[in-house]
Amino acid sequence: MYIDITLKITTDMIKNAQGNEKKALLGHLGTHFDAMNKEFPLEYVERDAIVFDVNAVANRDINSSDIDLSKVSQGMFVAFYSGFLDQTEYGTKAYFTEHPQLSNELIDKLLEIGVSIIGVDFAGIRRGKEHTLKDQHCADRGAFVIENLCNLSEIIHHGGTFKAITCPMKLMEMSGLPCRVVAKI
């Protein structure tokens, strides 16, 4: 069974996003990963994956005690379902400025394990000025951040583990690359 976890984008969503976020242009629109001057390795196209339900975490960063790190192994695609995309319209100011974020401690633990992709159903693993810095920190350690995933609750309903198939567009000299991400259950 396949589940598309790529956000569908409409023309209204494009207008809204570009009105609220300077970077919401072609490379950073909808489901995309922040390339951060790195090339996406072809072996990352298919990864063992897991999605963690962090929907209950509120008013604080998501940290390592909110998930079972023993289920994470080197090379994995690790996704986080917060429900934020289900509750907040994509492209709005709130979507870009009030989204959940992963703690620096959790990000560093994932990088120590050696994950290849960190995926979220919101606008970034960190907010504001920390966004780009943390994306670069991950990219420099061989991990890409995929933002704006959807339908992650459906994967949780099927046990939470899957094969992630990630196909980025082959755009050059871009800081963000739109991609299609499909979960194979």
- Structure confidence by residue, pLDDT tens digits, 154-169: 999 999 999 999 998 7
Averaging pLDDT over each range in 14-23, 32-41, 162-171, which range is the top one? 162-171
Give the span between the Cα atoms of 23 and 115, in whole angstroms: 26
Return the pLDDT at 28. 58
Question: Model's pTM, two decimal places?
Answer: 0.90
Q: Which domain holds residue 49?
A: 2-184
- How would you label 67-79 residue by residue, b for 16+ Cβ within 10 Å and e otherwise? beeeebeeebbbb
Average pLDDT of 11-28? 57
User: Please, which pLDDT band fits residue 52 given cuts at 50, 70 and 90?
Assistant: very high
With 80 as the cut, is the pLDDT of residue 62 above it?
Answer: yes
Let me know: does 82 contact 120? Beta carbons within 8 Å: yes
With 50 as the cut, is the pLDDT of residue 172 above it?
Answer: yes
Return the pLDDT at 184. 98
Which CATH number fits the domain that encloses residue 80?
A: 3.50.30.50
Return the pLDDT at 27. 56
With 60 as the cut, is the pLDDT of residue 21 above it?
Answer: no
Q: Mean pLDDT score of the chain, rounded to an integer?
A: 88
Which of 11-25, 87-101, 114-128 is least confident? 11-25
Burial zone of 172 (CB within 10 Å; 0-12 exposed, 13-18 middle, 19+ buried)? exposed
- From the list 91, 101, 105, the residue with the least C-alpha distance to 127 is 101
Return the pLDDT at 146. 95
Return the pLDDT at 174. 66
Return the pLDDT at 15. 61
Name the domain count of the chain.
1
Average pLDDT of 62-70? 98
Return the pLDDT at 24. 47
Return the pLDDT at 37. 76
